[in-house]
Chains A and B, each alone.
Chain A
Amino acid sequence: MKKIIALSLYFGLCCASAAQETGTPPQGMRGTPANLPDISLIGVIDGHTSSNKSDETRNMLQFSEVETAFQGYIYPEMKADVFLALHKHGEEYASEICEAKVSFLSLAGGLSAEVGKVNAEFGKLNKAHSHTRAMADQPAALTKFLGEHALNPQGAVLKYLLPLPFYAQVQAGAWQGNAHAHHVDGDLTADVLDVDQSTVTVVLAPAESEEFSPAGKIYTGRMNMSFPLSDGAELELGTSWLKGKGSHWEHHRDNINIAGADFTLKFWPSTYKRFTLQGEYLRLKRDIPVGELKRDGLYFLANYRQSKYWDFGARFDYAENAFPEITYERDYSLIATRHLTETTTLRAQYKHINLSGEKTDEAWFQLIFGLGPHSHELE
């Protein structure tokens, strides 16, 4: 990983120096009119209700997330984006670096790179910040296999646009993901004899009460392609791969592989109308001391933007858990979104959850607002 970072920096500096030598043509006006970064704030207020009386956020209206962003160029062809977030975790707010990255927009050989803490581009949705998604929650498959929040490790990724007669990009990343620091309990254990004939307790398998997400040294790969079907239709196909360890690796000694495939089909019948069909399939392989777990998850999203101001969606989730005692979750969601401005939206969402026969109904009322110029790279 160090080599990747060093090479990225070297190529970035070489290319940036070359850019400086080019004359500057007359330019128009854009962006912030001073030598300041774009500074912005995104706030998310969630009202949540659930038929599950043990749900901590049941019947609560709360400020669930604040994201501040500082974005700008730090050198020719080098851009810095820092997103700091305050999330509600249970009863308390926790601050964290949501993303903090330097993007080398044009390296040698047509490569580009991102270095820092990054939402890994695994599948279609993980990269997208929650406030840019067309839903109040995230699909169950992502939560169960990639973590409650986005897979967001530290490291570097190299990207390359393939020289093909259509859009095709490959990327490879090397990362370090934080293991979960909190206490692990409820593992399935056994007492065994050690080499010195003493009795020791070993973990056979993790218990379902724990969170799961990739951690440790993580390697990712992704290839995505896009095909315009007509002036008003485009199909994007992607496949992703991840190798790493589980978030409680110290206890569980679990090595993991996740493979994913995704598609996004969009139609634009008129200026403001858009119909989107999107789906992702993920397969998790988790090696634990007692064997290998194979788990599947997927979602399908249909979204119809009816006008400049309204869109409506429906989503189906299917996800197995990442633990030995398998559970099956099937969720059905209906979503309505009112766009007040580009960054301010009102959303209502209903979700019916069937978790191995245990049924729950949930609903959200969400207000997302934006202050200042806020942008994300093409997602």
Chain B
Amino acid sequence: MKKILLTAAALALWACPARAELKIMTASTDLKYICERIGGAEVKVESLASGGQDLHMVEPRPSMVFKLKKADMVVRVGLDLDMWLDSLVNAARNKALFYGQPGYVDASAGVELLERPEGKVDASMGDIHIYGNPHYWLDPANAKVMAKNILAGLKRLAPEKAALFDANYEYFAAETDERLAAWGARAARFKGLKVVTYHGSWPYFARRFGLEVAGHVEPKPGIPPSASHLDGLVKKMTAENVKVILTESYYPRKGPDFLAAKIGAVVVTAPVSAGGAAGVKTYFDVFDRVIAGLEAAAGKK
């Protein structure tokens, strides 16, 4: 199957007339990786945020405006996670990238969202996202949804390359399915594992791989942990025998280390994006690393 797809991709590439590559800017390194997989040699992709950055808090820079000005397509995480991108796109005055234009791709379109708040939403709930939890890319099954949105964007901009993009998508989707099966098998070893996470980044991952999130180091999204909250968490983790703390690589270790020292838990520091840790070069590497960390933690538990 892979050979057929590769041959089809090669033929499609050969059949198409020469054309300048599409310049694509993405909000995250994961989206960059998926764009490169779907666009192949026809695209030149750059991510505005680095893999180690907190996507809630990317500081817009003038050099980003310059890059967006020259871009054919922008791909965003969406769901108001990367609101910093709006001022950049406006400042770049690149019509093709404005909301509703062919070069605007929101990778979240079509994702089944978790933790959608109901009723009144306000800052008493912390830094809440009104459409639901925006960390959807941490379920690798959603890679296919993201890739499909990117595929649609690429086909809008270069319809003559549609066959190539379709073939690349099929190959990417097939690889995602293969990897999902392998990760699922590994995750069976820690299915039902109770964890505390620093921020609410992991509900999609937890649903996919059978983790049970017992609480967060942050009392509410975006609110730093207080002593009383950590004290309460110590009691809860002790009562529920929670021995693993999963923390994003960019958050401070003080809170997780305090909890670990109090109850003898294991802290798993996890990258959330490609480039978020040494050796984590691709989107798929993120899951290899997190699952390996959880396997090790579950073994020690």
Which residues on A are within 8 Å of B, measured CB to CB?
Answer: 15, 19, 22-31, 33, 76-77, 79, 103, 105-106, 110-112, 161, 166-167, 224-228, 231, 234, 236, 266, 268, 270-272, 274, 307-309, 341-342, 344, 371, 375-378
Contacts and interface: CB of A to CB of B under 8 A. Distances in A.
Given A27-B104, A161-B69, A309-B224, A274 B79 contact: no
B66 A378 contact: no
A344 B131 CA distance: 22
Contacts of B61: 226, 228, 234, 266
Contacts of A77: 95, 98
A375 B62 CA distance: 17
Contact of B88 (A30, A103, A378): A378
B59 A375 contact: no
A25 B104 contact: yes
A226 B62 contact: yes
Nearest to A19: B95
Which of B54, B69, B87, B123 has the most CB atoms of chain A within a 10 A radius of its CB?
A: B123
B80 A268 contact: no
A15 B106 CA distance: 23
B192 interface: no
Given A341-B127, A377-B90, A234 B63 contact: yes
Contacts of B224: 308-309
B166 to A, nearest CB: 17
A103 B87 CA distance: 12
Contacts of B127: 341-342
B222 interface: yes
Interface string B132-176: 000000000000000001001100100000000000000000000
B65 interface: yes
A30 B80 contact: yes
B5 to A, nearest CB: 25
Given A106-B95, A309-B224, A375-B86, A22 B59 contact: no
Contacts of A161: 65-66, 69, 92-93
B101 A19 contact: yes
Nearest to B87: A378
Contacts of A112: 93
B109 interface: yes
Interface in B22-43: none
A167 B79 contact: no
B53 A26 contact: no
Interface in B208-241: 222, 224
Given A15-B95, A26-B109, A26-B110, A271 B54 contact: yes
Given A105-B93, A377-B90, A378-B91, A25 B250 contact: no
Contacts of A375: 83, 86-87
B108 A26 contact: no
Interface residues of B, number: 51
B184 interface: no
Residue among A29, A166, A225, A236 with the most chain B CB within 10 A?
A29
A378 B57 contact: no
A376 B84 CA distance: 10
Nearest to A226: B62
B119 interface: no
Contacts of B60: 378
Interface string B249-273: 0101000000000000000000000
A77 B99 CA distance: 9
Interface string B72-98: 000010111001001110111111001
Residue of B53, B62, B87, B109 with most partner-chain A CB within 10 A: B62
Interface of B: 50, 52-54, 57, 59-63, 65-66, 69, 76, 78-80, 83, 86-88, 90-95, 98-102, 104-110, 123, 127, 130-131, 149, 152-153, 156, 222, 224, 250, 252
A169 B252 CA distance: 38
Contacts of A111: 93
A79 B90 CA distance: 10
Contacts of A344: 123
B250 A272 contact: yes
A112 B235 CA distance: 57
Across the A-B interface, the 10 shortest Cβ-Cβ residue pairs = A28-B106, A226-B62, A28-B78, A167-B66, A271-B250, A167-B62, A28-B108, A228-B63, A378-B91, A28-B109
A271 B106 contact: no
9 contacts: A30-B80, A76-B98, A76-B100, A105-B98, A106-B94, A161-B66, A227-B63, A272-B250, A378-B62
Nearest to A160: B93
A375 B85 CA distance: 12
A76 B127 CA distance: 29
A27 B123 contact: no
A191 to B, nearest CB: 56
A79 B93 CA distance: 13
B62 A27 contact: no
B98 A30 contact: no
A371 B83 CA distance: 16
Contacts of A105: 90, 93, 98
Given A31-B80, A272-B54, A375-B86, 13 more contacts: A27-B106, A28-B78, A30-B80, A77-B95, A79-B90, A228-B61, A228-B63, A268-B59, A341-B123, A344-B123, A371-B123, A375-B83, A376-B87
Contacts of A23: 102
Given A76-B100, A341-B222, A378-B60, A29 B95 contact: no
Contact of B100 (A22, A103, A166): A22
Contacts of B69: 161
B64 to A, nearest CB: 9
Contact of B152 (A25, A76, A268): A25
B60, B65, B91, B156 — which one has the most chain A CB atoms within 10 A of its CB? Answer: B91
B152 to A, nearest CB: 7
A44 to B, nearest CB: 17
